[in-house]
Amino acid sequence: MNPFKVFSGITLIFFGLVLYTLSKIPADKVEYGGVVLIGPVPIVFGSSTVLMTSAIVIALLLFILAMARRW
């Protein structure tokens, strides 16, 4: 049994269930937000300020984690 294939299968099933669950949410309640980093310039987008600020915080935490792992 190949562990990579087992992990890949479980991951695909998980993502399939998540997408199925998200498809059942009514379209009028969906909000989105994200951060795209192009070099040193962050581009923030979203439908609500709460999601945009949380996306910025998560991006900063991931940046700090990446820099901490480099040391």
For each of the chain's 71 residues, which pLDDT tens digit applies?
889 999 999 999 999 999 999 888 787 777 888 888 887 788 899 998 998 999 899 888 888 888 898 87
Position 41 scores a pLDDT of 82
For 61, counting Cβ atoms within 10 Å of its Cβ (0-12 exposed, 13-18 middle, 19+ buried), the class is: exposed
Residue 13: alpha-carbon gap to chain centroid: 18
Domain ranges of the chain: 3-70
Residue 19 is inside which H or E element, if any?
helix 3-23
Its pTM stands at 0.56
- State how far the Cα of 37 lies from the Cα of 53, in Å rounded to an integer: 15
